[in-house]
Amino acid sequence: MNFLRRRLSDSSFVANLPNGYMLDLQRPDSSSSSPVSPATERRHLQPPQPVHSSSAGSSIFSSISSAVKHTTQAVGLVEPSASPVPAAVQKPKILLVIDEAKYFQGKKVNGEFDIRVEQAEFSELNLASYVGGGCTVDMQVLRNGTKVVRSFKPDLVLVRQHAYSMALGEDFRSLIIGLQYGRVPGVNSLCSIYNFCSKPWVFSQLIKIFNSLGPEKFPLVEQTFFPSHKQMVM
């Protein structure tokens, strides 16, 4: 190898070569004058590795996050100004429906918060109300053909059954008083429900409207009120 290097570096030897023969050897090259180590050759043969910068990675991640956010908003999965979901799931609100027909039994209302419906008749209910503890309702339910009692605290109540009747065992005004005593909010006014238990009381309110508007705009059937049946005897 030393012999070849000396011959190729001899200017007289290169001048006697035919034209165009080994033309590359006549060009001045720094690599031909100094030996190259094998490690340097391997580094030159390896392809250049791509350079990853933190700014480029963060910009790509932000673009993907923005695309996902816009997609979820477009399909209605996330509101534009939705807050993070709380870690603890809120308990559903309990709506007590007092009605004879079981239209609402076992239903749920989904919205800002879930509403669980508990439905029963007045005859299936009992309650206890406290000054500082609210109202606790005991409700009779059927489980495997057997009546059992289940207790809960209603968050609001909807009354769709008459609370008073002259029939035996059809006076449930005490339950209305208990719900009012326990400060249970009513979808329909508990005060109006209690007032409607007395027909003469309701008619007295109608008489106020009659006197205010006159018989032409608000006619009423003529009635006479007696405190008891004894005064009805002529």
Domain presence at residue 69: no
Flag whether 154 is in a domain: yes
| 121 inside domain | yes
Residues 222 and 162 in one domain: no
Instruction: State the pLDDT at residue 43.
Output: 56
The CATH number given to whatever domain includes residue 192 is: 3.40.50.20
Q: What total of structural domains would you count in the chain?
A: 3
Instruction: Specify whether 154 is located in the same domain as 215.
Output: no
- Asked whether residue 12 is assigned to any structural domain, the reply reads yes
Whether residue 210 sits in one domain with residue 159: no
CA distance 196 to 131: 26
Cα–Cα–Cα angle for 135, 138, 139, nearest 5°? 130
127, 141, 224, 233: which is closest to 183 by C-alpha? Answer: 127
Q: Is 155 left (phi over 0), alpha (psi -120 to 50) or beta?
A: alpha
Distance, in Å, from the CA atom of 82 to the CA atom of 80, rounded to the nearest integer, reads 6
Residues 26 and 102 in one domain: no
- Computed from CA positions of residues 82, 83, 87, 88, in that sequence, does the dihedral angle turn out positive or negative? negative
Tell me whether residue 60 is in a domain.
no
Whether 13 is in a domain gets the answer yes
More confident residue, 92 or 57: 92
Q: Same domain, yes or no, for 121 and 206?
A: no
For 125, the domain range is 93-197
Question: Is the same domain home to 123 and 158?
Answer: yes
Which whole number is the average pLDDT over 33-55? 54
Contact predicate 194/177, CB 8 Å? yes
Question: Do residue 189 and residue 204 come from a single domain?
Answer: no
- Report field, pTM of the whole predicted structure over 0.75: no
pLDDT band, residue 166 (cuts 50/70/90) = confident
Query: What is the average pLDDT across 69-75?
Result: 41
- Do 147 and 206 share a structural domain? no
| 116 and 151 assigned to the same domain | yes
Residue 76's pLDDT band, with cuts at 50, 70 and 90, is very low
Q: 123, 114 in Cβ contact below 8 A?
A: no
Do 150 and 98 reside in the same domain of the chain? yes
Give the tokens for residue 153: 């605290």
Average pLDDT over the chain, rounded to an integer:
75
Give the integer Cα–Cα distance in Å for 55 and 57: 6
List alpha helices for 141-220, DSSP H.
173-181, 190-195, 199-213
- The C-alpha angle 186, 196, 200, rounded to 5 degrees, equals 160
pLDDT digits (tens, 9 = 90+) for 15-42: 666 555 555 555 555 444 555 555 555 5
Helix (H) or strand (E) holding 150: strand 146-152
Residue holding tokens 């509101």?
Answer: 79
101 and 184, same domain (yes or no): yes
Please check whether residues 206 and 180 belong to one and the same domain: no
